[in-house]
Amino acid sequence: MDRSIANLRIGEKGIISEISFDSIPLALLEMGCMPGESVELIQRAPLKDPLYIRVNGSFLAIREETASRILVTKG
């Protein structure tokens, strides 16, 4: 069952299964946020936005709105 990065719990990992390429910033794609890559939710900001994730060996801060458009499978 696919769910989004925004639905992961802190410390939970997943494999990116689907991305809405037209609504994801190009910079995220360039940093390796692509289908097949492992992603882990590291931390949430106090107001739940942004999310701090690790993907492809890099640590990224992304908006919850963007994270909700990146689907993951349990990994």
Domains and CATH numbers, the chain: 3-74 (2.30.30.90)
DSSP string, 8-73: PPTT-EEEEEEE-GGGS-HHHHHTT--TT-EEEEEEE-TTS-SEEEEETTEEEEE-HHHHTTEEEE
Q: Give the separation between CA 37 and CA 57, rounded to whole angstroms.
A: 10
Question: Given this model, what pLDDT does residue 1 score?
Answer: 62
User: What pLDDT, in 10s, does the model give residues 56-73?
Assistant: 888 999 999 999 999 999
With a cut of 70, say whether residue 18 has pLDDT above it.
Answer: yes
pTM for the full model? 0.86
Q: How far apart are CA 5 and CA 27, in angstroms?
A: 17
For 20-59, the pLDDT digits (tens) are 778 788 888 888 888 999 999 999 998 888 999 999 888 9
